[in-house]
Structure 1
Amino acid sequence: MFQKKDRQSYLRNNSNVSTGGDAVDVTDDISPELKTTIRKAMLAIPGLRVCGVDVLIQGDEYHILEINAHAMLTMHHFPWEGEKREVVAKVIDGMFPGTVE
């Protein structure tokens, strides 16, 4: 009935933010080369203007899991860990460059 001490138990088999996972911002921790690779992956999809990219990073290895055309941008405003980012404002600035001060 009870778990042993120091044993990890998983309650779900996924960890999406929408199902209770935690948003962790690692933007400042990843290499410029990885950021370039992610950007190239995004740009490889014709007509895609705004998206989110889910990346699994373990040490020097990484895997792009998915590119989301309907990304949950607000999670970056209130991450569980890491720096909050004004992502929505940057998206609007990118879509309407004449409005940037």
Structure 2
Amino acid sequence: MRQRGADLAHGRRLPRLLREAGLADVEADAYFPVTSPACDVLEAATVRQVRDRLVAERLATDEEIERHLANIAAGRLDLATSPMISAWGRRPAGDGSQP
């Protein structure tokens, strides 16, 4: 994902970024679904999309990828998606802005 331009640390930086922007009472949480049907669909689609690169970079063989896809299809894996991080805060009281 990093090689495709994703900033994998952005979610963890959100609370700091909100505080630096002047927000107060900043909080955050993460949602990390495990073993939902969407995880299986996303994993299989992702593996198929990057398959050629995995093989070319010798990170996996075609046989390993086929076995992994078969295990996904059979429901044998407890897969998870990347966490979705939400962060929020509020304008400090008395800052002159509208609520």
Report which of the two has the higher share of helix. Answer: 2
TM-score using structure 2 length: 0.26
Higher relative contact order (CA 8 A, sep 6+): 2
**Rg larger for:** 2
TM-score using structure 1 length: 0.26
